[in-house]
Structure 1
Amino acid sequence: MKKFVLPALLVTLLAACSSTGTFDQAGGTAVEDRSTGAPGVATVTAPSMAGSGIAALTDPNNILSKRSVFFDFDQFVIKPEARPLVEAHARFLVQNPQMKMLIQGNTDELGSREYNLALGQKRADAVRQALTLLGAKESQIESVSLGEEKPRCGESSESCFAQNRRGDMLYSGEF
């Protein structure tokens, strides 16, 4: 029964958060062109994600440089605020079919080792499933659990625990 509930919840979540508009792939914005001295409009385009490989992934101004999807306590449902990040990485994988991704599911130190390994796998699988629902190929993505073994923060406080409840996305050459 659980095998059917998780995919149904994820599909429902993604459908509920979907927008009716389309993505502006070029990211163009109208600005005034003052280079010629004459009033007019020029288009400034954001860096393209396609074809830039690792460079787009390391550009701090690009959403692709963000690699962690954070989860609530004892949860493995992707939060609505993480949706743009997951969508950007899915588009990147679709546009760069040669790229491979490893998703590492992480937990805080609360819970048993076995429980945390299982929860970390569910978090990694939730990100993987969202990426594939958005068009990435299953063959491009692998998901593993690290449980509590790779904390981002080592203090025993709620703010630290929150940083450790995540799924990290790593690309070819980074793992």
Structure 2
Amino acid sequence: MAKLTTSLLIGTALFTAACAKKPPAVIPPPPGQSVVDPNAGQPSIAPGSRADFERSVTSNTVNFALDSFSLDDRARAILDSQAQWLTRYPNVPVSLEGHCDERGTREYNLALGDRRALAAKNYLAARGVAPGRISTISYGKERPIALGSDEASWAQNRRAVTIVLN
């Protein structure tokens, strides 16, 4: 009987060993850690698209001082990053929108918004972007992004915004 019991134990051990799972090809991370795919659940972004532009440049917006259309160092750095992207995609048209804060007359702000858009356009053109692919429009004070009537809101509204048109 001892031989039968020993044979059964050996047979069971061999059967269990033969049925054991093989290790996975990819070992999962230890508990408490997760593997995150940075592109999971995200739509693919087409090169040369508006989403690609907004992802690739420092900002699509440059800001201005009160009653000014002069580009400061930060605005020039932002426009430099835009010029690099626009040079990479020479067939992509853009529009530059000029905006103002709520102070001043409608006519004054439309004219100032136009000068802001033209200042950004001229800077991009000086960096090698064909001026024919850059349109400009002034919205004056008609399209604020900050609705407050304080300096912080006004500073956000004094801007030129580059919009990819495709």
Q: Give SS of 1:98's match.
A: coil
Q: Indicate if the aligned counterparts of 1:57 and 1:65 stay in contact, CA closer than 8 A.
A: no
Partner of 2:120: 127
Q: Indicate if the aligned counterparts of 2:58 and 2:78 stay in contact, CA closer than 8 A.
A: no
Q: How does 1:49-68 map to 2 (within 5 A)?
A: 52-54=47-49, 55-59=51-55, 62=56, 64=57, 66-68=59-61
1:25-48 CA-partner distances (Å, limit 9, x unpaired): xxxxxxxxxxxxxxxxxxxxxxxx
1:5-60 CA-partner distances (Å, limit 9, x unpaired): xxxxxxxxxxxxxxxxxxxxxxxxxxxxxxxxxxxxxxxxxxxxxx931253242x
Q: Give SS of 2:62's match.
A: strand
TM superposition shift of 1:84: 1.7
Name the Cα RMSD after superposition. Answer: 1.4
**Closer, same or farther in 2 for the Cα pair 1:170/1:65, shift >3 Å?**
farther
Distance in 1 (alpha carbons) for counterparts of 2:80 and 2:132: 18
Partner of 1:25: none
- Please list every run of 5 or more consecutive structure 2 residues that lacks an aligned counterpart in the other structure: 1-45
TM superposition shift of 1:65: 5.9
**Closer, same or farther in 2 for the Cα pair 1:124/1:78, shift >3 Å?**
same
Percent identity over paired residues: 33
Distance in 1 (alpha carbons) for counterparts of 2:54 and 2:85: 13
Distance in 2 (alpha carbons) for counterparts of 1:154 and 1:112: 17
1:77-132 CA-partner distances (Å, limit 9, x unpaired): 01111222101111221221110110000000110000000000000000000000
- Which amino acid in the other structure matches residue 52 of structure 1? P
Distance in 1 (alpha carbons) for counterparts of 2:53 and 2:131: 20
Q: Give SS of 2:98's match.
A: strand
Q: Indicate if the aligned counterparts of 2:53 and 2:85 stay in contact, CA closer than 8 A.
A: no
Q: Indicate if the aligned counterparts of 1:91 and 1:135 stay in contact, CA closer than 8 A.
A: no
Question: Structure 2 length as normaliser, TM-score?
Answer: 0.69
Q: Give SS of 1:153's match.
A: coil
Distance in 2 (alpha carbons) for counterparts of 1:97 and 1:155: 38
Q: Give SS of 1:117's match.
A: helix
Q: Give SS of 1:69's match.
A: strand
Which of 130, 133, 146 aligns to 1:153? It is 146
The number of residue pairs the alignment matches comes to: 120
Partner of 1:137: 130
Q: Provide runs of 4+ in structure 1 moved above 4 Å.
A: none
Q: Give SS of 1:170's match.
A: strand
Distance in 1 (alpha carbons) for counterparts of 2:54 and 2:127: 22
Distance in 1 (alpha carbons) for counterparts of 2:95 and 2:138: 10
Q: Which has the larger radius of gyration?
A: 2
Partner of 1:47: none
Distance in 1 (alpha carbons) for counterparts of 2:54 and 2:84: 16
For the pair 1:79 / 2:75, whether they are aligned, the reply is no
